[in-house]
Amino acid sequence: DAPKPLLGKKAIVTSGPTFEPIDPVRFIANRSSGKQGHAIAESLAQAGADVTLVSGPVSLPDPAGVTLVRVETAREMLAAVTNALPADIAVFAAAVADWRAADAADQKMKKDGSGVIADLKLLENPDILATISASGPTRPALVIGFAAETQNVAEHARAKRTRKGCDWILANDVAPDTGTFGGDQNEICLITDDDEKTDERWPRQSKTGVARMLTARIIDHFA
Ligand code: C5P
């Protein structure tokens, strides 16, 4: 049997996009395949962690050995994460939609011939990573976020780590020419503090490879 260094540790992982309804047939979403988050959930479970995966809509097989909670919206995702607390480790890999329609229509909206949408008011969604990072006594010991950037990746990610109040940030370059979105490969820079000298640049590798490296890094952290 494989060693289980994370036995006794509880982990929460978010994955996939969120869908924010505009009306019964339309929604706002972000690009996300869920591949990276699902791979992390599975890898943590293989290392012995008790994993709750909170996932938005994806077309991926359910990862082995995790408790899967399916959600659609950011607010449902936050509720599911909160419900899964307490935890030792939280990894926020979901691409949460930043906005939702203020008043989603009950019936399909019709084009009125004017050429414009009369009124689509958007509200900001809760920031799940920031909320859980500031959750006081129930805050997981290790809170990890992602920063998908298209330029100055490490610099923007370092600022994001401070702003969100999380412990680690996995920064990745999602510029269109990198093929990261929907692809199987990812190139990560792990940021664990404010000092850029401690940035860890990981080789470009598969999303499962990234998941395994992150799991190994988490095992080290708790050792
Ligand atoms: O602010 P930005 O979306 O770039 O931050 C990315 C990180 O924050 C990711 O870890 C993502 O899962 C998390 N996030 C979140 N809730 C939001 C927005 C982002 O948990 N509403």
pTM for the structure as a whole: 0.95
Active site residue 152: no
User: Which ligand 1 atom is nearest residue 147's CA?
Assistant: 6
Residue 35 burial by Cβ neighbours in a 10 Å radius (0-12, 13-18, 19+) = buried
Q: How far does the centroid of ligand 1 lie from the alpha carbon of residue 116, in Å?
A: 31
- Low pLDDT (below 70) residues in the chain: 118, 181-182
Ligand 1: residue whose CA is nearest its atom 9 = 146
166: Cβ below 6 Å to ligand 1? no
ipTM of the complex in this document = 0.98
**CB of 34 closer than 6 A to ligand 1?**
no
Asked if residue 127 belongs to a known ligand binding site, the reply is: yes
Phi-psi region of 47 (alpha: psi -120 to 50; beta: other; left: phi over 0): alpha
Q: Is the CB of 174 inside a 6 Å radius of any atom of ligand 1?
A: no
> Where are the alpha helices (H) located in 85-183, listed in sequence order?
128-133, 153-164
Given this model, what pLDDT does residue 209 score?
Answer: 97
Top mutation candidate among 53, 96, 149 for ligand 1, by most atoms within 8 Å of CB: 96
> What's the confidence (pLDDT) of residue 174?
82
User: What is the C-alpha to C-alpha distance for residues 2 and 185, in angstroms, rounded to an integer?
Assistant: 25
pLDDT of residue 182: 66
Which of these, 132, 162, 157, lies nearest to 147 by C-alpha position? Answer: 157
Sequence-ordered strand ranges (E) for 67-141: 67-70, 89-92, 99-101, 122-124
